[in-house]
Amino acid sequence: MTVMTAESMLATRILSFSYPDSPALRNLTLDFSQYNVTGIIGANGCGKSTLFMNLSGILRPQEGEVWWDEEPLEYGQKALRALRQRVVTVFQDPDQQIFYTDVESDIAFSLRNLGMDEDEVQRRTEYALQMVGAEHFRHKPIQYLSFGQKKRVAIAGALVMESDYLLLDEPTAGLDPSGRKQMIDIISNIVAQGKRIIISSHDIDLIYQICDGVYVLSEGEIVGSGTPETVFVQKEMLEKAGLEQPWLVKLHSETGLPLCKTEQALFSLLRTASVPENHEQNGEEIL
Ligand SMILES: Nc1ncnc2c1ncn2[C@@H]1O[C@H](COP(=O)(O)OP(=O)(O)OP(=O)(O)O)[C@@H](O)[C@H]1O
Ligand SMILES: [Mg+2]
């Protein structure tokens, strides 16, 4: 059962949403205050972005509710403005979120829009630049930034709000391996600051590694939920939802090696596993 008592609780209760010509979300009862990092996974078109837009009040469900701070969300201008200071979304495409031609003004945009004191604007902008590792390109015109750098600027623009929840729609899509690794570090740093994060992603290995709770969406419905360790062993359910198991889970299922959370954990386990000298003769198991 969904418990709705935590402060800064973000949840949905029997929420259904349809676009004029098609249903998109059906009977979703979700609780994002259970975990620090919640992953939303599912095939293209299963409803991930639609769910994010319902959570931030951009779209309004026809049935059920979004719950915020122990009350059903209200859709008046004032209530939505308040919500969007505490639940901030970073869209998949950074160009949707970038309005200015220079990095610092762009990051500070929402704070100035709120009429915040300039000293505080500077403090928060510095902090956000640091969190996403963007100090070295802070003076570059945005048009010259790479896609990955723009993604970092978009995240910094959300971080300055110091919100309770950060919603990241496909944070690693379009990033190269080093950009992806940097993004994982950025997300870990944000979590370490005590923020709750909701991530939608097709990057199943990312979700497995960084989330402590997962919802699996298929055609707008929840078909799996729980900790990554419990959700990702359900191969058949994942396949039906158009997904694959993370590679570390596959390795565990196929070989019986221990289930590791990260590849670093697996490698260090393999390095420390002792191989008896007479292994070949006596046919012992290595691990
Ligand atoms: N503006 C819209 N009008 C009508 N239907 C829409 C609209 N936006 C999305 N849909 C439909 O709603 C369903 C859910 O789309 P949504 O974009 O939420 O999926 P998604 O899980 O985010 O997909 P992806 O992985 O491709 O980003 C799809 O069937 C899609 O075609
Ligand atoms: Mg989407």
**What CATH number is given to the structural domain containing 128?**
3.40.50.300
Question: For residue 46, is it within any domain?
Answer: yes
For 92-104, the pLDDT digits (tens) are 888 888 887 889 9
Q: What percent of the chain lies above the pLDDT cut of 70? A: 93
Which ligand 1 atom sits nearest the alpha carbon of residue 50? Answer: 18
State the pLDDT at residue 7.
60
State the pLDDT at residue 239.
96
- Which ligand has an atom closest to residue 47 CA? 1
- Which ligand has an atom closest to residue 43 CA? 1
Res. 284: pLDDT tops 70: no
Q: Are residues 213 and 252 in the same domain?
A: no
Q: Are residues 66 and 99 in the same domain?
A: yes
Question: For residue 283, is it within any domain?
Answer: no
For 178-214, the pLDDT digits (tens) are 989 988 999 998 998 889 999 999 899 999 999 999 9
Q: What is the mean pLDDT of residues 155-183?
A: 92
Position 281 confidence tier, pLDDT thresholds 50, 70, 90: very low
Q: Are residues 255 and 161 in the same domain?
A: no
State the pLDDT at residue 92.
87
Residue whose CA is closest, atom 24 of ligand 1? Answer: 44
| Rounded distance from Cα 96 to ligand 2 centre (Å) | 13
Please state, as a whole number, how many other Cβ atoms lie within 10 Å of the Cβ of residue 136: 9
Averaged pLDDT of the chain: 90
State the pLDDT at residue 55.
96
Q: Are residues 191 and 84 in the same domain?
A: yes
Range of the domain at 84: 6-233
| Rounded distance from Cα 155 to ligand 2 centre (Å) | 17
The whole model's pTM is what? 0.89
Question: For residue 16, is it within any domain?
Answer: yes
Which strand (E) or helix (H) includes residue 215? strand 213-218
Q: Are residues 131 and 56 in the same domain?
A: yes
Question: For residue 51, is it within any domain?
Answer: yes
Total domains, the chain: 2
Q: What is the mean pLDDT of residues 145-150?
A: 92
Q: Are residues 59 and 152 in the same domain?
A: yes
| Rounded distance from Cα 141 to ligand 1 centre (Å) | 33
Which of 28, 41, 49, 169 has the most ligand 1 atoms within 8 A of CB, as the residue to mutate? Answer: 49
Question: For residue 240, is it within any domain?
Answer: no
Question: For residue 281, is it within any domain?
Answer: no
Residue whose CA is closest, atom 4 of ligand 1? Answer: 19
Q: Are residues 154 and 261 in the same domain?
A: no
Question: For residue 241, is it within any domain?
Answer: no
Res. 236: pLDDT tops 60: yes
**Contact yes or no for 137/59 (Cβ under 8 A):** no
**Contact yes or no for 4/70 (Cβ under 8 A):** yes
224 burial (CB, 10 Å; 0-12 / 13-18 / 19+) is buried
Beta bridge partners of 156: none
State the pLDDT at residue 6.
44
Alpha carbons 131 and 255: distance in angstroms, whole number = 39
Within 6 A (CB) of ligand 1 lie 19, 21-22, 24, 42, 44-50
For 44-75, the pLDDT digits (tens) are 999 999 999 999 999 999 999 999 988 999 99
| Rounded distance from Cα 43 to ligand 1 centre (Å) | 11
Question: For residue 202, is it within any domain?
Answer: yes
